[in-house]
Structure 1
Amino acid sequence: MKTRLTTLAASALLLHSATTFAASSVDLTVKGLIVPSACTPSLSGGGVIDHGKVSAKDLNPTYGTAIGIHTLSLTVNCDAPIQFALHPIDNRAGSGPSSDFGLGFINETQKLGHFSLTWRKALADGGVEVQPIASMDQGNSWYPEKFWEPSMYMAAASMDDDTQPLPIKDLSVDLEVLTIINRADGLDLSNEVTIDGSATLEVKYL
């Protein structure tokens, strides 16, 4: 009887060990899709907007000052029609509001200002008018939108269907850039300050 109880106890211990091992494991899956087409984005003017020198005396002390609106030509050229989105990365994240792109800091703490991006006109293959749509969940769902926020996917859809991006070979967009300096009474402008906005626009294949 004692031998039988010992055997049962050993079996229970082994079963408990196996159960514990299974509960302490996790699977790793690597997925993806290789697409035959590639897209190349480009911006007119080398993607540079130079506001030159702005006098501190021209900045409003109690609210933000718009120092310029510029329109760049954004083009995306693909090897063949394909569904894609454009994803902006704010390279000065934290120095601007969540809905815009930052212009860097003064003395590492004072937020200098921000710039916004807006799609004003979009044409697809052969000059066909298309509408901008956006996704905040990496392309799972879409809605009409022209204001481009950091980390937001933007794509082009047909004028009668705003629920999904079109397969496009060549896309051209008038991209409006508005630059705003924050209220001057909260900024140390006793020395020259560099306007240091930067964003990276990357193609995401859908």
Structure 2
Amino acid sequence: MKLTLNALATALLLSTSASALAASTVDLTVKGVITPNACTPGLSGGGMVDYGKISAKDLNLTTPKQLPRTTLQLTITCDGGTLFAVKGTDNRAGSNSSGGTYGLGLINGTQKLGAYDLMLNNAVADSVAVTVLESGDNGTTWAESADAILPPSALAAFGDRTSGTWLPVPIQQVVSDLVVYAQIARADSLDLSDEHPIDGSATLEVKYL
């Protein structure tokens, strides 16, 4: 599992109006914000979850095989109090055997080996327990995450509702359990005549708010 950090996000907006379609000019807007603070993410164990060898005989023929839950520690440390979110990206997109999850790779290019969820638990920010929040609209609105699961491409943040609504709070350091729930697809959907690697890969990215 690889971690990436984007210290500066820029957006390029090319806009035309109906009246401009017939004009000889077009406007270009380049936007962004330079933040004085930077945040560094880290995962315990080098971000590695290794299930070793699993016998095909131990898989379930007609139902997914749940693998043992594994807990890593996610730490995000910033230069100062910073508003940020965490975004998960599935580097094996299209290989997940169930919706809203991360994939474990393909067998023979087409058979989906399995899937896994990522869950954020027991988050503590600057020595204070915080609530895991979720946003499905790129940070426009926030809500308490009922299950603390971080699906691919969604945003998670850490905050409270002291303002009357759930919002992320500025944080210098947050420590959270990152729980990995993995499962292997039903055996009758897989070619198990040869060895196949479990090949999950995700990127956790800090997004500045």
Unaligned runs of 5+ in 1: 1-17
Q: CA deviation at 1:68?
A: 1.6
For normalisation by structure 1, the TM-score amounts to 0.86
Q: CA deviation at 1:100?
A: 0.6
Q: Partner amino acid for 1:176? A: V
Structure 1 CA distance for aligned equivalents of residues 208 and 20 of structure 2:
42
Matching residue of 2:15: none
Structure 2 CA distance for aligned equivalents of residues 26 and 102 of structure 1:
42
Which structure 2 residues correspond to residues 142-153 of structure 1 after superposition, within 5 A?
142-145=142-145, 146-153=148-155
Structure 1 CA distance for aligned equivalents of residues 156 and 136 of structure 2:
9
Matching residue of 1:184: 187
Which structure 2 residues correspond to residues 91-170 of structure 1 after superposition, within 5 A?
91-96=91-96, 97-125=98-126, 127-145=127-145, 146-158=148-160, 160=162, 163-170=166-173
Structure 1 CA distance for aligned equivalents of residues 43 and 192 of structure 2:
31
| Cα contact 1:130–1:159 (8 A) shared by 2 | no
Structure 1 residues 189 and 158: alpha-carbon distance in aligned structure 2, compared to 1, 3 A threshold? same
Matching residue of 1:199: 202
| Cα contact 1:131–1:159 (8 A) shared by 2 | no
Which is helix-richer, 1 or 2? Answer: 1
Q: Partner amino acid for 1:173? A: S
Structure 2 counterpart SS, 1:62: coil
Q: Partner amino acid for 2:207? A: K
- Compare CA radii of gyration and give the structure with the larger one: 1
Q: CA deviation at 1:119?
A: 1.2
RMSD: 1.7
The runs of at least 4 aligned residues of structure 1 exceeding 6 Å deviation read: none
Structure 1 residues 19 and 35: alpha-carbon distance in aligned structure 2, compared to 1, 3 A threshold? closer
| Cα contact 1:87–1:202 (8 A) shared by 2 | yes
Q: CA deviation at 1:98?
A: 3.5
Unaligned runs of 5+ in 2: 1-18
Number of residue pairs matched by the alignment: 187
Q: Partner amino acid for 1:21? A: A
The CA deviation string for residues 1-46 of structure 1, in whole angstroms up to 9 with x for no partner, is xxxxxxxxxxxxxxxxx98632x86432110000000000000000
Which is strand-richer, 1 or 2? Answer: 2
Q: Report % sequence identity.
A: 50
